[in-house]
Amino acid sequence: MNIRGIFTSCATMAALGSMAGNPSKPNIIFFLVDDMGWADSSVIYGDQTYPLNLRHHTPNMQRLAAKGTIFANAYACPVSSPTRTSLMSGMNAAHSKITDFTTAVPGVPSDASHKPDALKNDVLVHPEWNWNGISPESGIPHTVQVTPMTRLLQDDGYYTIHVGKGHWAAAGTPAASPYNLGFCVNVAGQVAGKPTSYYGKENYGNTKEMWSTFSTMNMTEYYGSDIHLTEALTREALKTLDYPVKNNLPFYLYLAHHGVHTPITPDPRFVQKYLDAGLDEGQAKYASLVEGVDKSLGDVLDYLEANDIADNTVIIFMSDNGGNSENKTKGGVLHTQNAPLREGKASCYEGGVKVPLMVYWPGKTHGSRTEIPVIAEDLYPTILEIAGISGYNTIQQIDGKSIAGLISGNEAPGISYDRELVFHFPHQWKPYPLEDIDYMTSMRKGDWKIVYRHRTGKLELYNLKDDLSERNDLSKKNKKKLREMASALSNRLRGWEAPMPTFRSDGRQIPYPDEL
Amino acid sequence: MNIRGIFTSCATMAALGSMAGNPSKPNIIFFLVDDMGWADSSVIYGDQTYPLNLRHHTPNMQRLAAKGTIFANAYACPVSSPTRTSLMSGMNAAHSKITDFTTAVPGVPSDASHKPDALKNDVLVHPEWNWNGISPESGIPHTVQVTPMTRLLQDDGYYTIHVGKGHWAAAGTPAASPYNLGFCVNVAGQVAGKPTSYYGKENYGNTKEMWSTFSTMNMTEYYGSDIHLTEALTREALKTLDYPVKNNLPFYLYLAHHGVHTPITPDPRFVQKYLDAGLDEGQAKYASLVEGVDKSLGDVLDYLEANDIADNTVIIFMSDNGGNSENKTKGGVLHTQNAPLREGKASCYEGGVKVPLMVYWPGKTHGSRTEIPVIAEDLYPTILEIAGISGYNTIQQIDGKSIAGLISGNEAPGISYDRELVFHFPHQWKPYPLEDIDYMTSMRKGDWKIVYRHRTGKLELYNLKDDLSERNDLSKKNKKKLREMASALSNRLRGWEAPMPTFRSDGRQIPYPDEL
């Protein structure tokens, strides 16, 4: 029998055994880290090695990078829920109107707007936005109805597994259950945006003293143990793979770690070496969380090899937003922790939105790097293309473009270096104001970046090729480019009917950038 | 993938072709109710209609009974965990040494023995027992290592789903995770023996004020809603069936409701009609919980019909022990709530161990009834026989016998009317003593029942055919039968090395029945 004959025979058998076991269907693992900065690993995403790249030991991320494609200019939203819902909807957050994090308390928005005292002296008022996140059903208040990417995967026969952090919908709404989004299996996935505790000894926050709506579910096995939450989630994830692997069902594993989000507490397996290396206590704790996630990635890679499916499993590695630069427990100096990038999580400067992204696609990637800018919502059509699913219908209009071509070192239709990528955060993040973080919109187009500060009505212009750290505002020097960028950004915001803050003084909406 | 990989894949698919979509593999649903008494429904398990049968409206249980096989003399253990672990192990509780309920707090036994004050005046001391439940791994203290029934089902290709109450292992041990027991999917399953709240409005106990280790997980979607927990678990269960149904994978759904366990709070959908019918408040609340479970069963039956799989889905309906007769919130008069049976939950009298059991097996059952006594551990080999799985190896020695033959109206090898069925509860149940409940062992053999009260060393003998209510002690009148029964029971206990209490006074083990 020749090769073609074997494949024909396989196809016949696959048809007999329903849709299961189609060898043209790769498994897909989405390995999502929480709040990990662009330079927080020993994988070099930039065009040079920065001090942060030398700080954390992430050998397994390097192991993946060595055979994958690194995206030097990958972007997400400035905070968690907008990115996570963009992955599930394919929509830009300014379009879905999910511009801040969704709520764990039914009926109560989780952004600073539900604490009016926090905002009463501000010149701006938060806009209406979809604080209940996505919904697979119509008629749910403060949601955007979408066809979730995982629904299309499951409908195509994929065995879809959700492990870890959900945070794409509010408690009390349909999308709070991953089973409503096309997931077959849900381990620990719920609405919470962070863990109460990383420690088995503390039952991951499931004690009378510690319990909160953020306490991790489905981890009872490890209560009272020394098992770190990152490790526990990994072990549970790998257990859930046994059935699809044994039965030759293509799987999609969404392994969404809580690490390296706050609380910044030490992972005892790794913290001492970072203290020994001279990091301060906060930096060492954070480094230990990062290395815990790296160990998890290694365990996943080992599992795939041990089960002989590494050659048919695509791995997408990403963080949901930039590293947190406004938390003292991380050590170091606030607002500098993502150097060379400016600021961090929740900001529309590079530190908040530029994220690590790399993809391993067996047979198609070979340890290369691309400079072409890509954004979270691109992953929706990308994953479906990798899965070989086309011609699908969705309720929502997809903003992302498939980057499958870029992953394999080719062209990708609709994607150029000059594509407009929009970041929109019309909120105050914390109960106190933060100048370089709150109420911002920005857009990258080629090497240019426009930044709009809502409170002051000020526009800034940067050339990222020359000025990755966004310190040299060219808005006065290059008014033509500023006008061009302001116009393009305004068109995007108008077209999407993006939620815009209003002035407290007179209730008017703030101007679009091209009106300034 | 190389050539060898292709061949491996082909072989796997060929194997799969014989499994997936194989019409000889029926789906199996185990519908387990918690604490529902033998006469608590309008299905008549006995040989006459008792007043309790007329109290609760359970049309869907009748709908199942009309096409299934009713077991008039089905038994379980007197409390939850022993029954649930017997289903997973095929072992009698006296053999597995899981004789009381397992713990939700790591390292702390949950039976009354961890409250020494509760027992300090008793003549007896609790024996060592496996208060950590079952374990799929060796070396876990206070567990019995078993090959779980669901592991064999999953290994055979069954898509195995756990929904609701687990309670077969302690927090902090491997079996606290259903993923370690051969389940593909776990919804809400953990170690808890009861819910904190049945109400969506109370987030099923997931609030700062109410939270306990019993608060139900994975129900975030329904937080703040009017959805009753029984309804929520049913909806989640049916969602998880979509993938196996669509992909023609045989499934095993273990739908283990918390209803009708305490807290006895009203199900608003059904309570008023029972108040209108003149029941007292407690009775009406309990009735509403029962009817909620009945509605769930109806929803399951409707789903199977709507999805055209009713003709290939076996349904096993059962309760885990007798109705609770020691809880004032149930209304009525304590210790009479299982009339005509004596006592209730935790007792080795009929009220504690005789349970509703019926099985629908498409094409094999036709609304009949069998008097042959059967017991919880029989379900292990029964389910595997229904699934067509034979020649399996288990770590543990299986005590149960397959009742598959009885279900279809035929003989069942190893099962006669005279089989010895043992119930063993070497514990004080509550923090206070209960004469007809604590420290008892009993055995049914044919129409005869021997009851051993450990505290007093008294043996009783009943003929259940004439005296279903166990009120006419024949131990003095029929000493020959008593000796015969005492000998048989003692042999069982010795053979299994059943845990036996000791005397507080001198530390000696209590006598076996044939030593009295």
Name the residue facing A10 among B13, B179, B225 (closest C-beta). Answer: B13
Question: B1 and A312 in contact by Cβ < 8 A?
Answer: yes
Cα B244 from Cα B258, distance rounded (Å): 25
Angle between helices A281-306 and A229-246 (to 10 degrees): 10
Question: B176 and A220 in contact by Cβ < 8 A?
Answer: yes
Looking at beta carbons, which residues of chain A come within 8 Å of B239? 177, 179-180
**Residues 6 or more apart whose Cβ sits within 8 Å of residue B328:** B282, B334
Question: A311 and B1 in contact by Cβ < 8 A?
Answer: yes
What amino acid occupies position A242? D
CA distance A221 to chain B (A): 5
Which one of A3, A239, A247, A307 would you mutate to disrupt binding with B, by most B Cβ within 10 Å of its Cβ? A247
Question: A223 and B176 in contact by Cβ < 8 A?
Answer: yes
Q: Mark out the alpha helices in B364-478 (DSSP H runs).
A: 379-386, 404-407
DSSP class of residue A200 equals: G
Name the residue facing A211 among B6, B176, B211 (closest C-beta). Answer: B211
pLDDT in tens, chain A (516 residues): 333 333 333 333 333 334 444 557 999 999 999 999 999 999 999 999 999 999 999 999 999 999 999 999 999 999 999 999 999 999 999 999 999 999 888 888 888 878 878 888 899 999 999 999 999 999 999 999 999 999 999 999 999 999 999 999 999 999 999 999 999 999 998 898 999 999 999 999 999 999 999 999 999 999 999 999 999 999 999 999 999 999 999 999 999 999 999 999 999 999 999 999 999 999 999 999 999 999 999 999 999 999 999 999 999 999 999 999 999 999 999 999 999 999 999 999 999 999 999 999 999 999 999 999 999 999 999 999 999 999 999 999 999 999 999 999 999 999 999 999 999 999 999 999 999 999 999 999 999 999 999 999 999 999 999 999 999 999 999 999 999 999 999 999 999 999 999 999 999 999 999 999
Question: A248 and B12 in contact by Cβ < 8 A?
Answer: yes
pLDDT tens digits for range A321-379? 999 999 999 999 999 999 999 999 999 999 999 999 999 999 999 999 999 999 999 99
Name the residue facing A154 among B184, B213, B243 (closest C-beta). Answer: B243
Question: A223 and B185 in contact by Cβ < 8 A?
Answer: no
Which one of A135, A209, A220, A312 would you mutate to disrupt binding with B, by most B Cβ within 10 Å of its Cβ? A220
Name the residue facing B16 among A221, A223, A247 (closest C-beta). Answer: A247
**Predicted local confidence at residue A23, as pLDDT:** 56
> Is the confidence at residue B412, as pLDDT, over 60?
yes
CA distance A245 to chain B (A): 10
Which one of B167, B168, B247, B252 would you mutate to disrupt binding with A, by most A Cβ within 10 Å of its Cβ? B247
Name the residue facing B225 among A172, A218, A248 (closest C-beta). Answer: A172
Planar angle of CA B38, B41, B46, nearest 5 degrees: 50
Give the CA count within 13 Å in the CB-facing half-sphere of A73: 22
Which one of A243, A249, A311 would you mutate to disrupt binding with B, by most B Cβ within 10 Å of its Cβ? A243
Which pair of tokens denotes residue A13? Answer: 């058998």
Question: A107 and B171 in contact by Cβ < 8 A?
Answer: no
Question: A223 and B172 in contact by Cβ < 8 A?
Answer: yes
Cα B448 from Cα B471, distance rounded (Å): 13
CB B195 within 8 A of CB B214: yes
Confidence at B23, pLDDT banded by 50, 70, 90: low
Name the residue facing A221 among B19, B177, B206 (closest C-beta). Answer: B177
**Predicted local confidence at residue B4, as pLDDT:** 36
Which pair of tokens denotes residue B287? Answer: 């009735």
Confidence at B6, pLDDT banded by 50, 70, 90: very low
Question: A10 and B12 in contact by Cβ < 8 A?
Answer: no
Query: Of the candidates B306, B179, B149, B299, which has an alpha carbon nearest to the alpha carbon of residue B237?
Result: B299
Cβ contacts from A onto B, under 8 A: 163
Name the residue facing B247 among A20, A23, A220 (closest C-beta). Answer: A20
Question: B221 and A18 in contact by Cβ < 8 A?
Answer: no
**Predicted local confidence at residue B121, as pLDDT:** 84
Looking at beta carbons, which residues of chain A come within 8 Å of B102? none
Question: B220 and A171 in contact by Cβ < 8 A?
Answer: yes
Q: State which residue of chain A sits closest to B191, comparing Cα positions.
A: A220
**Predicted local confidence at residue B286, as pLDDT:** 98
Q: How far is CA A312 from CA A305, A387, B491, in A?
A: 10, 11, 57
**Predicted local confidence at residue A46, as pLDDT:** 94
Q: Which residue has the higher pLDDT, A7 or B304?
A: B304
Name the residue facing B154 among A10, A21, A243 (closest C-beta). Answer: A243
Query: Of the candidates A506, A437, A425, which has an alpha carbon nearest to the alpha carbon of residue A93?
Result: A425
CB B321 within 8 A of CB B3: no
Which pair of tokens denotes residue A454? Answer: 């809502």
Q: State which residue of chain A sits closest to B243, comparing Cα positions.
A: A184
Looking at beta carbons, which residues of chain A come within 8 Å of B173? 221
**Predicted local confidence at residue A22, as pLDDT:** 53
Which pair of tokens denotes residue A211? Answer: 């319990």
CA distance B430 to chain A (A): 23
**B484-510 as b/e, with b when 16 or more CB fall inside 10 Å?**
bbbebbbebbeebebbbbbeeeeeeeb
Name the residue facing A224 among B9, B107, B159 (closest C-beta). Answer: B107
CA distance B279 to chain A (A): 34
Query: What dihedral angle (degrees, nearest 10) is formed by the CA atoms of A78, A82, A87, A92?
Result: -90
Looking at beta carbons, which residues of chain A come within 8 Å of B180? 221, 239
Question: A13 and B17 in contact by Cβ < 8 A?
Answer: yes
Name the residue facing B16 among A20, A224, A243 (closest C-beta). Answer: A20
Name the residue facing B6 among A6, A174, A224 (closest C-beta). Answer: A6
Cα A190 from Cα A171, distance rounded (Å): 8
ipTM exceeds 0.90: yes
SS3 labels along B35-49: CCCCCCCCCCCCCCC
Binning chain A into helix, strand and coil, the percentages to the nearest 5 are 30, 15, 55
Looking at beta carbons, which residues of chain A come within 8 Å of B103? none
Question: B221 and A176 in contact by Cβ < 8 A?
Answer: yes
Question: A221 and B174 in contact by Cβ < 8 A?
Answer: yes
Q: Which residue has the higher pLDDT, A113 or B386?
A: B386
Q: State which residue of chain B sits closest to A210, comparing Cα positions.
A: B208
Distance of CA A375 to the CA centre of its chain: 10
CA distance B136 to chain A (A): 12
Per DSSP, the residues of A383-439 read HHHHTT--S---SSPP-----HHHHTTS--TT--TT-EEEEEE-S--SSS--TTTSS
Question: B16 and A248 in contact by Cβ < 8 A?
Answer: yes
Question: B247 and A248 in contact by Cβ < 8 A?
Answer: no
Domains of chain A by range and CATH? Answer: 26-417 (3.40.720.10)
Looking at beta carbons, which residues of chain B come within 8 Å of A311? 1, 5
Cα A412 from Cα A395, distance rounded (Å): 24
CA distance B84 to chain A (A): 18
